[in-house]
Structure 1
């Protein structure tokens, strides 16, 4: 992570930025556009100056919070594939996808406000998610654990359906059951 000037952020500055982004996701999901920047700073344990130095406007903060959630989701793929068998990594990632979708749904009102300013926070979201899914599917197919006739687009459509119908925190148990159902359907012997 780099500063505006392109220099890497100090460790404490990076931690503060992460705390602000996490707090922003939670508070915008809870309160939408009624969320106060000062509340986000307080929740993150930083001063208002630190918040505004990193994110000079509400729109910049909303966009950064969304992109950070997308980055966490997509950047998790290599670590997951390194730490567990490919099919388990794929299943773990699908749970993270639901976390990402839940945050996105919670922030919908705030994200719409950003789009209205002419900024598209979703510009590369689909491509990044499809790339992450393709990596996970490819590793699972190579390991012989999932069927080879399912594309990243197919799986993305299924995950999006689960997120849209079961994306609220209180629906998480149902979402997990549906993710397991997809996992069962992906198994190589399921054909």
Structure 2
């Protein structure tokens, strides 16, 4: 992902610094989580704090840049799941894909899935959160239309569940717990047909 769409392309040196910061952030977040020091990221990138903040005015904007490629992959996987499966299994399988990413990303995915009430959240329609919500909405809409999922559930509810599950599993250092918790959540949203 490059700089925010609609902005002028970066000069070669600015583009290099942008890429260095994103690469360093990816490494630091993978080892230390999304609360890692921005100064450490700038140091690893070989740039000053001012350069980091010029490209990324908030932690959230840096998280968006680091997450973008993974989010695009998850959204493509949602479309693939919809083509290959019935609507209910497509949604449930994709929620497992999202859950696996959320747990492995050490808080990165939970930050992307955040509900957006803090001032640091990007409000862009093309942001990672918007892309994931759109993918989840489409899968959920199909699953509800075929009565595979209870009515009244929102895509945002499902994403909040996945974010909470990933944070719980991260704090307990138990990746298998995340799968078990998601299975419980899926059973809770599944529409039961009366015999």
**Aligned mate of 2:159, from 149, 156, 161:** 156
Tell me the number of residue pairs that the alignment of Structure 1 and Structure 2 aligns. Answer: 171
Gaps of 5+ in 1: 42-47, 107-118
Mapped pair 1:25 → 2:24 = no
Q: CA RMSD in A?
A: 4.4
Do the aligned partners of 1:24 and 1:65 also contact (CA within 8 Å) in 2?
no
2:10 & 2:174 partners in 1: Cα distance?
A: 39
1:40 Cα deviation from its structure 2 partner: 2.5
Mapped pair 1:68 → 2:65 = yes
**Aligned mate of 2:173, from 150, 165, 170:** 170
1:183 Cα deviation from its structure 2 partner: 2.2
Match of residue 102 from structure 1: 107
1:174 Cα deviation from its structure 2 partner: 0.8
TM-score, normalised on structure 1?
0.60
Structure number with the higher helix fraction is 1
For 1:28-73, what per-residue CA distance to the aligned partner results, in whole angstroms no more than 9, with x for missing partners?
53883386346522xxxxxx15x87962569747343322355456
2:11 & 2:94 partners in 1: Cα distance?
A: 30
For 1:119-144, what per-residue CA distance to the aligned partner results, in whole angstroms no more than 9, with x for missing partners?
93324489635444323312333455
1:80 Cα deviation from its structure 2 partner: 1.2
